[in-house]
Amino acid sequence: MKTKFKYLLYCMSLVGLLTVACKKDDHALKSVQEYRGDPVTITLTHSYSVTDIDSVLRSYNPLIPVLIHIQYALDVYKVIYRSLDAAGNMTIASGLLAVPRDVTKHFPLCTYEHGTSFERYGVPSYESNEFMIAIAFGSEGYVMVLPDYIGLGDSPGFHPYIHAKTEATATIDFLRATRRIGIARGFQMNNQLFVCGYSQGGHAAIAAYKEIQENYSSEFHVTAACGMSGPYDCSGAQKDMLLSDGNYPSPFYLPYLLNSYVNVYHMYPDLASTMRPPYNTTITPYIDGYHGSSIVDSLMPLPIKNVLDSALLADFLVNQNSPFRLALRDNDLMEWKPMSPTRLTYCKSDSNVTYLNAINAFNRFVALGAPNVEVFDADSTADHGGCVYPALIGCKNFFDQFKILQ
């Protein structure tokens, strides 16, 4: 009896805040996969009336309430839930959940994937600027799910930046958590799921869409998807932009990406080994989630490829199977056939994420027989920051064509 009792205590401690159901015969733990999507904590952070929402959105931009139709009050939650890290081990992730306050209707799910955050807490659950998107879309009748991603927010460890697998996993597990919370809290959802995101979030949205279609179709069906200004062609168009001889406007992207892939793929000994002196010692301390990207930008050389170790760069330029190329290729999102209505939005003057990502992905999807995919230039004169609002308005209008409220 003592042995069984000790083992039961071990089971309970292993899963922290969750209750473990041990089998009566062998006390076996549920598998890691079975825990994915279990809510750990659910914290109500705001209850907004329609008037409150109008005020909140005007504080971001006075034009937003003019461009959308606020219909529903909202409850906003910070959620911590179970997911997997890049190595496939159980971890926690966090995110923001915004729910229309009307128990008489069944609302569609919509996941919005946030853009690049160099700082751990610059994410939706800590009310970054993209918090506004949850409020705007939610007020029009979407249950808004905004994951922070693995390694950001309250998720421990490093952030696997532009890593399709963990972007998708964090999203799918938050969608699962939302369904479970809905049952517990009494809000209702229909079977629709909309997927969208901007910048890194564009990549994350298409990664989640691909993973759902290929491996989770028994749980979810994507009604429509909208990737906005995302690097879908990591090893092609985006690589060419990052490693060009021009003056790239956000130099920190490159060491941030290297840090991600060194930790995910273990392709080099450490981040410092990928960079030439003095950058191997001046830059690495700031890629820890607790410093601003402007610090790294100020330390980077131009062109930014000159941060790379000379041998690594030489190998990368001539060897199609260099470790860095293989990592980039593993995160391309073009070799599949999206089956639901899909829009790839870009702005042609974007100097951070080249519009060729969208064009190349669109052309490949069409060649593979995708039945309903389109490209959309939201504002041909806008750069990466200026593209946000026209892209988002276009995305919501695109989704509204398919949205059903029951």
Instruction: Count Cβ atoms below 10 Å from residue 82 Cβ, excluding itself.
Output: 23
Residue appearing with tokens 């920190």: 252
Which of 1.20.1050, 1.10.260, 1.10.3470, 1.10.4160 is the CATH number of 235-329? 1.10.260
The pLDDT assigned to 33 comes to: 79
pLDDT digit string (tens) for the chain, length 406 residues: 333 333 333 333 333 433 333 333 333 456 777 899 999 999 999 999 999 999 999 999 998 988 899 999 999 999 999 999 999 999 999 999 999 999 999 999 999 999 999 999 999 999 999 999 999 999 999 999 999 999 999 999 999 999 999 999 999 999 999 999 999 999 999 999 999 999 999 999 999 999 999 999 999 999 999 999 999 999 999 999 999 999 999 999 999 999 999 999 999 999 999 999 999 999 999 999 999 999 999 999 999 999 999 999 999 999 999 999 999 999 999 999 999 999 999 999 999 999 999 999 999 999 999 999 999 999 999 999 999 999 999 999 999 999 998 8
Q: Give the pLDDT confidence score for residue 400 in this predicted structure.
A: 96
Query: How many beta carbons lie within 10 A of that of residue 192, not counting itself?
Result: 23
Determine contact, residues 57/77, Cβ cutoff 8 Å.
Answer: no
Residue 94 confidence (pLDDT) = 98
The pTM for the full model equals 0.92
Domain ranges of the chain: 2-30, 36-233+332-400, 235-329
What is the predicted pLDDT for the residue at 29? 52
Evaluated on CA atoms 263, 264, 269, 274, the torsion sign reads negative
Beta strand pairing call for 342-346 and 143-147:
unpaired
Give the HSE-up count for residue 384: Cα atoms under 13 Å, Cβ half-sphere. Answer: 17
Q: Using CA atoms, how far apart are residues 163 and 257, in angstroms rounded to an integer?
A: 9
- Look at residue 406 in the predicted model and tell me its pLDDT: 80
Query: Do the two domains 36-233+332-400 and 235-329 of this chain adopt the same fold?
Result: no
Residue 90, judged by CB atoms within 10 A of its CB (0-12, 13-18, 19+), counts as middle
Domain 36-233+332-400 coded CATH 2.60.40.420:
no
